[in-house]
């Protein structure tokens, strides 16, 4: 299938990706290789500050960088302002997002707003935002997905990531597995609506998903080798969005389901967990092998049912019925009218989600 180029789009990629045991110690060297100048501002949280941020600071100071640090919580507009104001106060030349997804998202958004570089240094891998040009931020009661800055470099230290709760890694794997239905939705939109489609981006996203599925049996708790198996596809999944110029290769009907569930039952499950369960059901609608998706999730230890997500049958059905309303500009297997309550319940029962 040929690429669709109806309009020009920029494609920015990480210039360097390090993944492995102890590679956080190379942070200063990476910044020096990039010829980054000025004060380094570490964006981190309370749980990561004592470990990863201290290692990053030490590595930077060994290369004679002046280092400042800002501690923030979840990705909100208020915390974004805090990061940006701190960066201006210390005259930061570049940012380093050190922590989970929210810290990296805040660094991404601040970097694009301030027009300075940033590095992504994850301490967990709960979704594919480690490398993507997208960021999620809460504004009031809404969660917004925004264009952000692609990290100049990614330093994924497997010795740090393995110390995070295993549930986060399993969620990241589930998020990548859900690429399978996102790609099918994208192909459907191209056929029925002539939407722009990038086979290069789709192939990257599919490769990432298949890598996780094929190696699901090797992804286990408290095993650093499992992080190594998972982290590469998680990063590649994020890069596929940079190739596409949108989140299309990794976000379809299963993500709409997840976003609606966030509204109905906030805080019950992780983003990737919800996308994984959504992908089981959306694969059934596409006529694909939904049992393979479910089997891989079960092998990894990610949720496959409403009960495991911590939501009720009624909440799950409501999310399915209204999922199509989340992004009316994005055509998926749910169509323009979505599912009826009876169809939604039947879908959930057939796939053993309820």
Q: Where are the beta strands (DSSP E) in the chain?
A: 16-20, 39-44, 67-71, 92-99, 118-122, 134-139, 142-147, 153-157
Reading the chain (354 residues) residue by residue, the pLDDT tens digits are 445 444 555 567 889 999 999 999 999 999 999 999 999 999 999 877 668 999 999 999 999 999 999 999 989 999 999 999 999 999 999 999 999 889 999 999 999 999 999 999 999 998 888 888 888 887 766 677 777 778 999 999 999 999 999 999 999 999 999 999 999 999 999 999 999 999 999 999 999 999 999 999 999 999 999 999 999 999 999 999 999 989 999 999 999 999 999 999 999 999 999 999 999 999 999 999 999 999 999 999 999 999 999 999 999 999 999 999 998 899 999 999 999 999 999 999 999 999
- Quick check: 171 and 157 in contact, CB under 8 A? no
Q: What confidence score (pLDDT) does residue 51 get?
A: 83
Q: What confidence score (pLDDT) does residue 168 get?
A: 96
Q: What does the block give as tokens for 117?
A: 């570089």
Q: Label the pairing between strands 142-147 and 153-157.
A: unpaired
Residues 16-161, CATH architecture: 3-Layer(aba) Sandwich (3.40)
Parts of the chain belonging to CATH 3.40.50.1970? 16-161
Give the C-alpha distances (Å, rounded to integers) separating 18 from 26, 56, 62, 120, 158.
9, 14, 19, 10, 10
Return the DSSP state at 21: T
Q: Select from 3.30.70.1060, 3.40.50.2300, 1.20.1090.10, 1.25.40.340 the CATH code of 166-350.
A: 1.20.1090.10
Phi and psi at residue 42, to the nearest 5°: -85, 125
Q: What confidence score (pLDDT) does residue 2 get?
A: 44
Q: What confidence score (pLDDT) does residue 132 get?
A: 85
Q: pTM surpassing 0.85? A: yes
Parts of the chain belonging to CATH 1.20.1090.10? 166-350
């Amino acid at each position: 299938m040929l690429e669709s180029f109806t309009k020009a789009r920029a494609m920015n990629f990480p210039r360097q990706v390090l993944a492995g045991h102890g590679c956080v110690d190379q942070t200063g060297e990476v910044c020096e290789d990039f010829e980054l100048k000025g004060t380094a501002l570490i964006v981190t949280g309370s749980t990561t500050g004592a470990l990863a941020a201290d290692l990053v600071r030490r590595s930077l100071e060994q290369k004679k960088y002046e280092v400042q640090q800002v501690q923030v919580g979840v990705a909100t507009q208020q915390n974004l302002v805090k990061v940006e104001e701190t960066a201006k106060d210390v005259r930061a030349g570049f940012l380093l997002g050190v922590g989970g997804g929210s810290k990296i998202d805040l660094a991404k958004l601040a970097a694009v707003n301030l027009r300075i570089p940033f590095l992504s240094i994850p301490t967990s891998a709960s979704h594919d935002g480690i490398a993507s040009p997208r960021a999620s931020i809460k504004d009031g009661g809404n969660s917004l997905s925004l264009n952000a800055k692609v990290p100049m470099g990614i330093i994924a230290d497997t010795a740090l990531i393995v110390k995070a709760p295993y549930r986060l890694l399993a969620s990241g794997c589930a998020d990548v597995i859900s690429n399978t239905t996102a790609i099918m939705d994208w192909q459907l939109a191209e056929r029925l609506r002539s939407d722009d489609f990038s086979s290069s981006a789709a192939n990257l996203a599919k490769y990432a998903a298949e890598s996780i599925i094929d190696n699901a049996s090797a992804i286990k708790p408290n095993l650093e080798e499992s992080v190594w198996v998972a982290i590469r596809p998680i990063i590649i999944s994020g890069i596929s969005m940079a190739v596409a110029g949108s989140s299309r290769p990794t976000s379809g009907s299963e993500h709409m389901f997840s976003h609606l569930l966030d509204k109905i039952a906030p805080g019950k499950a992780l983003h990737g967990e919800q996308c994984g369960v959504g992908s089981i059901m959306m694969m059934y609608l596409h006529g694909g092998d939904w049992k393979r998706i479910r089997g891989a999730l079960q092998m990894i230890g990610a949720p496959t049912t409403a009960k495991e997500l911590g939501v009720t049958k009624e909440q799950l059905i409501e999310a399915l019925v209204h999922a199509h309303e989340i992004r009316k500009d994005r055509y998926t297997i749910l169509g323009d009218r979505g599912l009826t309550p009876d169809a939604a319940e039947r879908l959930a029962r057939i796939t053993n989600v309820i």
